[in-house]
Amino acid sequence: MTKNEWEQDLEHQELEKKAYHRGYRAGAKAEGEASKRVELLENVLLEFAGHEDEWLQTKSGLLKRERADLVDQIIFQRQLMRELYNHLDDDVRLKLRKKAESHIWPATHSED
């Protein structure tokens, strides 16, 4: 092996090493983000399912979260509420709709 081939081989090995470390770090970062998202969804589902107060989100706990996580949580909770609403009977839906509208437009709705 000539000196030039040896230097090229060494340079190639260094490039492969750097590429491996870039991929490893990106994979580790993606894994951390994925596990964080799974934990967030688990907490939202446990809170939603009516588990004990220990699963309820506290104000200080919510303030520690990033804005994007909070937006994801709100959207997920809205989807869950919509799913429940769609499974209700028509008369229960009507009562809930009237109650919501009475809070939004109290002057136009008389109390039943």
Provide the 3-class DSSP secondary structure of residue 89: coil
- Tens-digit pLDDT profile for residues 34-88: 888 788 777 777 777 766 666 667 788 888 888 988 898 888 888 888 888 899 8
- Tens-digit pLDDT profile for residues 14-26: 888 888 777 877 7
Provide the 3-class DSSP secondary structure of residue 107: coil
Domain ranges, ordered by start, for the chain: 1-56, 66-112
- What's the pLDDT score for residue 51? 66
How many Å apart are CA 39 and CA 30, to the nearest integer? 14
CA-based nearest residue to 37, from 71, 63, 61: 71
- Are 55 and 43 spatial neighbours (Cβ–Cβ below 8 Å)? yes
Task: Tell me which residue has tokens 């809170």.
Answer: 47
- Are 70 and 63 spatial neighbours (Cβ–Cβ below 8 Å)? no
- What's the pLDDT score for residue 91? 92
- Tens-digit pLDDT profile for residues 89-109: 999 999 988 888 888 888 776
- Name the band, by pLDDT with cuts 50, 70 and 90, for residue 111: low
Give this prediction's pTM. 0.48
